[in-house]
Structures are given as structure tokens and as C-alpha cells.
């Protein structure tokens, strides 16, 4: 029913450089939060879903210098990248609201929106990020 994002949610694999982008850690943390949401939905643990929905919606941003490096690399696709991030924030907020209402159907729909947004972003950017930021060393 749910996609398992635990390992696949990180766009950088386990063979990264000694100082990976902060974005790599952010992606790993989001994967953990998404697993917790899937678990919470399956057990109807609405406080857990709400807590992790809020964590997902408010996930940290990379440091400014790293953000500038990323945006410089993606160039004209920066709007697309930011759009995916905004969808993640919105879906996380909706998941939190749905969980607060104990509305399982709405929580699942918000989670599906979240996963679809993650997948679309990964399809658009993961390979090029891996090649540019990790494999050029």
C-alpha cells in the first residue's frame, strides 16, 4: 500500500564523500520520518502521524552556502526544485491536520501526495546530484 522510502529516499548512496552535503542528512531524516508516518497510519497512531507530518513540513534547509551551490548547479530548474519542496511542506502540514482530526483517509491522501512529490523530485534531480556532487571526486 505504501512505498517504502527508507533507503530509496536518499538521493546520495552510502558511498558518499567524507563531507557529504547537508542535504544528504536531511533526506535521510525525512526517510525516517516517512517510515514513522507509514507506521503511524497503519496503527492509527494519529499523534505519531501528526508529529512526523509536522517534522516533514518543517524539515531543515541546507546551510546558505550549500543552498547557493545547489541552486547554481540546477540553474533554470531551481523553480521546479523549490516547487517540489513546497509540495512537501504542504503535504506534511495537511498530514498533520488530517491526523489531528483522526481522518485516516485524508492522512493517507496527504501521505500519497508527499510520496509522489518525493518521487518526482528524485526522478528529476537524484541522478544529476549524485553525479555532480559525489561522483566527480
pLDDT tens for each residue of 74-119: 999 999 999 999 999 999 999 999 999 999 999 999 999 999 999 9
Q: Report residue 76 as a C-alpha cell.
A: 533554470
Say how far apart CA 101 and CA 79 lie, in whole Å.
Answer: 33
Assign 133 a pLDDT band (cuts: 50, 70, 90): confident
pLDDT tens digits, residue range 27-75? 999 999 999 999 999 999 999 999 999 999 999 999 999 999 999 999 9
Question: Do the Cβ atoms of 86 and 117 come closer than 8 Å?
Answer: no
Q: What is the pTM of this model?
A: 0.80
Neighbours of 52 (CB within 10 A): 26
Report, in angstroms and rounded to the nearest whole number, the Rg of the chain calculated over CA atoms: 15
Please indicate, yes or no, if residue 95 is contained in any of the structural domains.
yes
Total domains present in the chain: 1
Residue 130 belongs to a domain with what CATH number?
A: 1.20.120.10
pLDDT (0 to 100) of residue 136: 60
- Residue 11 in any domain: the answer is no
- Domain membership flag for residue 1: no
Does residue 37 sit within a domain? yes
Report the distance separating Cα 126 and Cα 131, nearest Å.
9
Asked if residue 17 belongs to a domain, the reply is no
Q: Are 17 and 137 in contact (CB under 8 A)?
A: yes
Task: Find where cell 496503527 sits.
Answer: 43
The string over 86-99, giving b where at least 16 C-beta atoms fall within 10 Å of a residue's C-beta and e elsewhere, is ebbeebbbbbbbbb
Residues of the domain holding 113:
22-134
Amino acid at each position: 500500500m505504501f512505498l517504502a522510502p527508507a533507503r530509496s529516499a536518499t538521493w546520495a548512496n552510502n558511498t558518499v564523500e567524507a563531507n557529504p552535503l547537508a542535504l544528504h542528512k536531511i533526506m535521510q531524516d525525512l526517510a525516517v520520518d516517512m517510515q514513522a508516518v507509514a507506521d503511524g497510519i497503519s496503527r492509527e497512531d494519529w499523534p505519531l502521524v501528526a508529529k512526523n507530518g509536522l517534522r516533514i513540513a518543517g524539515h531543515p534547509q541546507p546551510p546558505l552556502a550549500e543552498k547557493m551551490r545547489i541552486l547554481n548547479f540546477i540553474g533554470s530548474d531551481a523553480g521546479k526544485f523549490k516547487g517540489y519542496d513546497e509540495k512537501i511542506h504542504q503535504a506534511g502540514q495537511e498530514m498533520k491536520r488530517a491526523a489531528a482530526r483522526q481522518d485516516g483517509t485524508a492522512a493517507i491522501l496527504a501521505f500519497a501526495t508527499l510520496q509522489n512529490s518525493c518521487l518526482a523530485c528524485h526522478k528529476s534531480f537524484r541522478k544529476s546530484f549524485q553525479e555532480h556532487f559525489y561522483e566527480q571526486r
